[in-house]
Structure 1
Amino acid sequence: MRILILSFLMMMAGMTYAQKTPLLDRDLFFGNPEITGGQLSPDGKWISFMKAHKGIMNVWVKKFDEAFDKAKPLTDSQRPLYGYFWTDDSKYILYVKDKDGDENINIFAVDPMASANAETGVPESRNLTPLKEVTAQIYDVSRLNPDIMMIGLNDRDKAWHDLYQLKISTGELTLMYQNNDRITSYDFDWDEKLRVLSRTDEKGNTVFLRVDENKQLTPIYETTVTEQAYISNWNEDNSQFYLVSNVGELDKSTLFLMDPKTTKKVKIESDPENKVDFGGLRMDRHTRKIIGTSYTLDKTKYYWKDKSWEEMYKFLCSKFPGREVNFQSATKDYSKFLIATGGDKYASEAYFYDAKTKKLIHQYTPRPKLKEVEKHLAEMTPVSYKSKDGLEIPAYLTLPAGMEAKNLPVVVLVHGGPKGPRDYWGYNAEVQFLANRGYAVLQPNFRASGGYGKKFLNAGDLQWGKLMQDDITYGVQYLINKGIADKNRIAIMGGSYGGYATLAGLAFTPDLYACGVDIVGPSNIFTLLESVPAYWEAGRAFLYGMVGDPNTEEGKKLIREASPLFSADKIVKPLLIIQGANDPRVKQAEADQIVIALRDKGKKVDYLLAKDEGHGFAKPLNKKAMYAHAEKFLSEVIKGRYQEDMPTDVKETLQKLMVDVNTVKYEPKGAVTMAKELPKIENMLKAGVTEYDVTLEFNGQKMPMTTTRTVSQKEGNWVVSDKSAGPMGESVDEVVLNNDFKPVSRSISQMGQSIPMVFSDNKATIDMMGQKWKSTLKVHLSMMVLHLTTLWLVCLLKKVTHFISRCLIS
């Protein structure tokens, strides 16, 4: 069926080829929306939303019956917020933000009815968690007492979050549970009573712990590191919880109802088509019964249990054919709703809906100028293809509107994660921007993407740079075989893991891609694992399960093979690297290392670095400058369209982001330890023979020599033999190295005398004239030379000074 759909789309694209699609301004895609993120206050008296204030998206508010131009700003953040929401009594708006992308998140409260400060123009916001280098987490916001919320703070121990009760009106914190037990989640029932904790051990296994009346913790359920389970909600009388799990023989995650006292569970539901995991559970806060469930294969499908909700949903869908309808916000009595509509080629819109009168009133269009030209947007089509091992890979393909689907330049857009996230159908600014520039855009949901079952999810374990990369490669080949892609004009692009896949694509399949755009992608998995945030400690085993354990020889081998940095010599195509200096997940060092490696090999690499960003660009000017440069970069290599004009502020921002790669430096931490831990570097040694002249000067005397170096392999080891001829006769210096370039033995001989050396455990035993000496040893892998710390030994044999002196090189 998908093949037929794709063929039809190719035919239609060919029919409209003559209708030239206009070049849409990049600001339509990446500029600030006029209004977005609308929410009704729980009492229905207010509408809040996000709108630019001093160039940054902030929270605004207006009375329900007022016009939007009567709204007032509530926040004055210099960085876009992660999100915001109302307390249940409509008294406060709570929001969270960090500083310049460092992900040290604080929770703030603002009174929407308060008067504005004369200097800032907004009411005063209070930081409820005014702590540095702390990542606050929100577990529960009370409805019984809306002034109370349950949060986690890692102030005492950076790796683990203690449970606190926070009083919003005063900021008072009360410690509820000190986390000395590797607790990773806290679950509360409808009555806001703490019922279940989750504890994750060093192997990544998670145990659900029932909180008994006497505060004792009793194990009731367990998952391994390759399984997943979570509590979604509780039943009417709080006697059982809804558990979503794929434990044991289950492949697709399933909804159960579980009794925490008896540990018995009953299956409620799984995907009727048995294609995807359980998606979502919507509950009625009043009856505490299930309203509906959802599942997402290509598009999201809803299964309604409440007939009134089903009728409402069907009515709304009838008003917006071909688009998705989402219940964005509701009053607490479910009488009034904000509805969001949109689709792959439709600009989103927001409507007010009265459930009693069925009255539907347009509220705002986030991007009205995009709405005016949405007829030029491109359609996103679900496709699938087989990978190298026969695994079926789902993907989305967007063909540029108004162009024949033949020999097109292609951008493979790879999502991040990688384990768990996936791409979805719908409007995507990045996809539409690229399609408008004339590129076919492929978004593969490679193995390890979430939602397709446990086997598919875990099939990506230890496959970075291998089968996971093959899933992307075979997607490209699919487009080439269909005649859609011009094989000489294919780019790969992505963020986070997508950035890694970009580097891996250029390094491991250098003939496949014409260029790449790496956005905050790791280049060296060793340093990636060393620098993950402390509060990721619970997920360390999960990470090792994905890429390999760096504490084992097998893991080191896997990581070395998968890290693009160690194959940088194979990257021959142009590369654009984009990085945030404050990224806590993928540190700036990941970009710096690969930039230096390519620069030193004379390869073309562009580097954008934002000093005020983290894991991705959030600030509007940074984002627009980034895409402007990426647009030009792609146009120069794979010949898509390019908007040459650029506003002055964007141009100035781009100049600040651009880095002279000749100035980039990288200082590894713990150089000696890291040197010892580094895996072998490919192509450092090759079998062969070379000859060179050497002149040694000692005490004013010059001694010319001719040296012949022979490199060979013997019994699985490398043998490097230097035979030198000079005024004092012939000398031979032979070093035996194992495959990790660690020395096994060395023998230096001349005029019948020899100095044999045997190496073990970073120590050298040297036999000089019958006397044995022991010395510590440092191995410089980059130069393959040996440095003895007890250098005074060389003075014992003056007659071999000219070749002993080689040991002095460091």
Structure 2
Amino acid sequence: MSTLDFESGESKLMLTSDNVKVKFNWFEWANDDILLISARYETKERQLRYYQTRLLSMNAADKEPKAKLLLKPSLARFGNKDNNSQFQDNVIDYLPDDPEHILLSVDLDVPNMPSVYRVNIRTGKKRRVERGKLSIRNWITDQQNQIRVGYTYDYKTADASYLIRTEKGASFETLFEFNAINDKPKHVLGFAIDPNILYYSAYKGDFRAVYKLRIDTNESELVLAHEDRDVSGGVIYSKKTGDVIGIYDRLSSYGRYYFDKRNYALNRGLEAIFEGTKAYITDMTRDETKYVALIESDDKAPEYYWGDRTDKSINLLFEQYPDLYQKKLSHHKLISFEARDGVSIEGYLTLPLVGEAPYPTVLHPHGGPGARDQAGFDPWVAYMANRGYAVLRPNFRGSTGYGYEFAQAQMGRWGLEMQDDLTDATEWLIESGVADKDKICIFGASYGGYAAMMAAVKTPELYTCAVSFAGVSDLKMLRRTGRKFLGGKVRGDAQLGDDTKDLNSRSPIRHVEKIATPMLIMHGSDDIVVRVNQSRYFVEELIDEKKKHKYVEFENGDHYLSIQKNRHLFFDELDAFFAEHLGVPAASATGTEISE
């Protein structure tokens, strides 16, 4: 990790990590000198592995900066056990008017019930300003840096609520309450500069919307909603005024809905310079005269620029994928098809710049499953299209952004309608003339890896090959592992189901004998999100049933391919497997128009 002085051009190395035992989560300037860094490392307790975080402070003004652990190691007694806080990096307020301190939420007293401390970012000296209470798991401050809201959660029942303090020194009152499993939730997004105005998200019918609440009168006003899609994000603050100026929203221009349309001027100006791209402002100085911009598109790898609005200059900071600089990439096309029961499913289709339809094709379901695919640069898709393969990323049932009921369709339904959506996507690819029916592979990671395994079980005749990275093969094992963590039982029973026979019926590992598709199984040895045994045991079954496969395990690998050598090996193995089963298309012909 290095810093760069824009005026002098001087670069300074701040901190290094082996990226194996310790990884960097995030970093943030607390003031002009002090850089705060969240470090994550793995802990093993018997057979249970989990992450812990620590907060480091570094003074960039020092000639030789050294990392300092902000909270000194300490143990607090709770009952008969010592409590060493697992997560120590939850900064809830950077206190811009007090650049020597931050507000830190951390459970140093009672496990999982954090208090709030005012912490000196140079010395680590702390003073508690709010004691943990009322099963509050997280705290929210207003723009005057006062602690105003607490989020409560019951790990056994999933009952949740937001408590609010209407004024300084007042008692907490219930603002919203709901069950996080069974109800449409409401979430506090933040305060306006007026401490009497609070923004929150709630559902307008089936779709997530954003509202503004006047706390004194309890009157709500709709700020942003869409007819058939969710509003996707939180509030945008002005660095200069501290007030809310818009909403992050996937469907709005540049991913932002500004209250004052003049705020789009900078984005539009950048797009005029970088024709055919999207320009996103990722950060600004407090006076909003200088900014960092991300320039990208479907067919352009991300580049970061440093701009100055005063002298109207803009300069390249770095290319995220320098080897792709000025390389021509494929566009993504938004498509939709009708599933077998009439539900409309969207997806993104990417055609290669070489070859002609029908293409060798990869069906690429996303992980989560509570996530979604979207437009914009995607390195995995860029790789596959570059190799001459068409790629479809369907937003199957359980994906987010399409309303509450669509997202909830994942609950207890892994391997059922969610899997049928992928089968129907594959059949759409064949019927529309995109895919060569004899050269289709399904490839996914995490939940997408489960979907690839399940496809090899349920519809082996559809796929020439299947690839799973960090996939789930045994739902009963996943549910059992999840129960070892707080809240895991209620969440796992709702998401996966609680009937053993049903879980087995939807677990690929229980049906390996049905597989007739060559498989590539890859997993990180130290994955603590989806344990490596999910792949190891599955591969043992493949061996017993004499199924064609290859297994690759990444040394020290996590769920996110964080280690570069593992990423290189991952793509080497993927490339060879695709080439063997999908072929290497000739780079000569042009693409064809695809019917809807």
Q: TM-score band, normalised by the shorter chain?
A: 0.7 to 0.9
Q: Aligned partners of 2:235 and 2:300: how far apart in 1?
A: 27
> Which residue in the other structure is 1:364 paired with?
318
> Which residue in the other structure is 2:47 paired with?
none
Which whole-Å deviations, capped at 9, do the CAs of 1:186-205 have from their partners, x for residues lacking one?
Answer: 11111121111111233323
> Which residue in the other structure is 2:176 paired with?
221
- 1:515-534 paired onto structure 2 within 5 Å: 515-532=465-482
> Which residue in the other structure is 1:616 paired with?
560
Q: Cα–Cα, structure 1 residues 152 and 530, in superposed 2: closer, same or farther, change >3 Å?
A: farther
Secondary structure at 1:105's aligned position in 2?
A: strand
- 1:297-336 paired onto structure 2 within 5 Å: 297=251, 300-336=254-290
Kindly indicate whether the alpha-carbon contact (under 8 Å) linking 1:409 and 1:490 is maintained by their aligned counterparts in 2: yes
Kindly indicate whether the alpha-carbon contact (under 8 Å) linking 2:349 and 2:391 is maintained by their aligned counterparts in 1: yes
Secondary structure at 1:197's aligned position in 2?
A: strand
Secondary structure at 1:480's aligned position in 2?
A: helix
Question: Is it true that 1:150 corresponds to 2:135 in the alignment?
Answer: no
Q: Aligned partners of 1:200 and 1:582: how far apart in 2?
A: 29
Question: Is it true that 1:395 corresponds to 2:347 in the alignment?
Answer: yes
Q: Cα–Cα, structure 1 residues 160 and 562, in superposed 2: closer, same or farther, change >3 Å?
A: farther
Kindly indicate whether the alpha-carbon contact (under 8 Å) linking 2:482 and 2:488 is maintained by their aligned counterparts in 1: no
> Which residue in the other structure is 2:52 paired with?
104
Shift of 1:308: 4.0
Kindly indicate whether the alpha-carbon contact (under 8 Å) linking 2:254 and 2:267 is maintained by their aligned counterparts in 1: no
> Which residue in the other structure is 1:547 paired with?
496
- 1:327-726 paired onto structure 2 within 5 Å: 327-372=281-326, 374-375=327-328, 377-404=329-356, 406-419=357-370, 421-532=371-482, 537-538=486-487, 540-548=489-497, 550=498, 555-640=499-584
Could you tell me which amino acid in structure 2 is paired with residue 73 of structure 1? L
Shift of 1:129: 4.6
> Which residue in the other structure is 1:113 paired with?
61
Kindly indicate whether the alpha-carbon contact (under 8 Å) linking 1:581 and 1:588 is maintained by their aligned counterparts in 2: yes
> Which residue in the other structure is 1:794 paired with?
none
Q: Cα–Cα, structure 1 residues 347 and 306, in superposed 2: closer, same or farther, change >3 Å?
A: same
Which whole-Å deviations, capped at 9, do the CAs of 1:441-483 have from their partners, x for residues lacking one?
Answer: 1111112211222122112222110111111111111100011
Could you tell me which amino acid in structure 1 is paired with residue 222 of structure 2? K
Q: Cα–Cα, structure 1 residues 469 and 162, in superposed 2: closer, same or farther, change >3 Å?
A: farther
Shift of 1:484: 1.2
Q: Cα–Cα, structure 1 residues 83 and 492, in superposed 2: closer, same or farther, change >3 Å?
A: same
Q: Cα–Cα, structure 1 residues 344 and 389, in superposed 2: closer, same or farther, change >3 Å?
A: same
> Which residue in the other structure is 1:277 paired with?
231
Q: Aligned partners of 2:492 and 2:253: how far apart in 1?
A: 29
Q: Cα–Cα, structure 1 residues 133 and 341, in superposed 2: closer, same or farther, change >3 Å?
A: same
> Which residue in the other structure is 1:64 paired with?
6
Shift of 1:260: 4.2
Q: Aligned partners of 1:523 and 1:176: how far apart in 2?
A: 47
Secondary structure at 1:228's aligned position in 2?
A: coil
Which runs of 5 or more residues in structure 1 are unaligned?
Answer: 1-58, 117-122, 643-810
Q: Aligned partners of 1:177 and 1:613: how far apart in 2?
A: 39
Q: Cα–Cα, structure 1 residues 378 and 610, in superposed 2: closer, same or farther, change >3 Å?
A: same
Q: Cα–Cα, structure 1 residues 311 and 180, in superposed 2: closer, same or farther, change >3 Å?
A: closer
Secondary structure at 1:81's aligned position in 2?
A: strand
Secondary structure at 1:517's aligned position in 2?
A: strand
Q: Aligned partners of 2:521 and 2:114: how far apart in 1?
A: 34
Q: Aligned partners of 1:410 and 1:397: how far apart in 2?
A: 10
Secondary structure at 1:108's aligned position in 2?
A: strand
Q: Cα–Cα, structure 1 residues 133 and 216, in superposed 2: closer, same or farther, change >3 Å?
A: closer
Shift of 1:353: 2.0
Could you tell me which amino acid in structure 2 is paired with residue 107 of structure 1? L
Structure with bigger gyration radius: 1
Which runs of 5 or more residues in structure 2 are unaligned?
Answer: 44-49, 74-83, 587-596
Q: Aligned partners of 2:252 and 2:487: how far apart in 1?
A: 32
> Which residue in the other structure is 1:800 paired with?
none
Q: Aligned partners of 1:617 and 1:109: how far apart in 2?
A: 27
Kindly indicate whether the alpha-carbon contact (under 8 Å) linking 2:231 and 2:401 is maintained by their aligned counterparts in 1: yes
Question: Is it true that 1:265 corresponds to 2:220 in the alignment?
Answer: yes
Kindly indicate whether the alpha-carbon contact (under 8 Å) linking 1:204 and 1:539 is maintained by their aligned counterparts in 2: no
Secondary structure at 2:2's aligned position in 1?
A: strand
Give the TM-score of the pair, scaled to structure 1.
Answer: 0.65
Question: Is it true that 1:253 corresponds to 2:208 in the alignment?
Answer: yes
Shift of 1:223: 2.6
Could you tell me which of 174, 199, 203 is aligned with 2:152?
199
Q: Aligned partners of 2:198 and 2:301: how far apart in 1?
A: 39
Kindly indicate whether the alpha-carbon contact (under 8 Å) linking 2:298 and 2:331 is maintained by their aligned counterparts in 1: yes
> Which residue in the other structure is 1:292 paired with?
246
Shift of 1:631: 1.1
Q: Aligned partners of 1:480 and 1:530: how far apart in 2?
A: 39
Which whole-Å deviations, capped at 9, do the CAs of 1:118-157 have from their partners, x for residues lacking one?
Answer: xxxxx31123356678233423322222333333445666
Secondary structure at 2:418's aligned position in 1?
A: helix
Q: Aligned partners of 1:105 and 1:366: how far apart in 2?
A: 26
Q: Cα–Cα, structure 1 residues 237 and 624, in superposed 2: closer, same or farther, change >3 Å?
A: same
Q: Aligned partners of 1:156 and 1:577: how far apart in 2?
A: 44
- 1:734-753 paired onto structure 2 within 5 Å: none
